[in-house]
Amino acid sequence: MKKTLATLVLVSFAGAAMAQQALKPEEMIKYRKAAMNFMGWNMGKIKANLDGTFNAEQTLAAANAIAATANSGLGALHGPGSDKDVGGEKTRLKSEYFQNQDKVREVAMNFNKEANELAKVAAAGDKAAIQAQFGKTGASCKACHDNFRN
């Protein structure tokens, strides 16, 4: 079965239909913050490599971690009720997330595309190309934050 990138992304981020786990809203918040912080650490590593001594192997490992996180089905961590602080977990997710699914799909698909491209470019090892794609990936993170994070 051939699937387009768009289909894969819809399933992996914007949709939660595949989720086998029954997660409480507080678990969604906990795990998605873990995913975001984990990506933040890896983005920081790539930035440090671009700004300082460039280590291609560390940069690739970080890019692979970001892409695998993007591909891990983060949509399942953005279910109903997870836009409110609950069960000791605090969240910055705006309720608009549930009211504008077209925009969610747009920013999610773009993020997945840029993150996977970053891993591809990092595997090739050209620092200037990585720098350019790192910028695009960061912008795709920011697009979601600007729209859906308080």
As a whole number of angstroms, the distance between CA 107 and CA 137 comes to 11
Q: Is 4 in the site for a second copy (CB under 8 A)?
A: no
> Within positions 14 to 33, which residues make up the interface with a second copy, using CB under 8 A?
18-21, 30-31, 33
As a whole number of angstroms, the distance between CA 61 and CA 120 comes to 11
Q: Is 42 in the site for a second copy (CB under 8 A)?
A: yes
Candidate list 24, 56, 68, 143; residue touching a second copy; CB under 8 A? 68
Q: Please, are residues 54 and 138 in contact by the beta-carbon 8 Å criterion?
A: no
Task: Name which of 142, 124, 146 is nearest 39 in CA terms.
Answer: 142
Q: Please, are residues 30 and 89 in contact by the beta-carbon 8 Å criterion?
A: yes
Considering only 39-47, 87-95, 108-116, 128-136, which stretch makes contact with a second copy by CB under 8 A? 39-47
Binding site for a second copy (CB under 8 A): 12, 18-21, 30-31, 33-38, 40-42, 44-45, 48-49, 52-53, 55, 57-58, 61-62, 64-65, 67-69, 71-73, 77
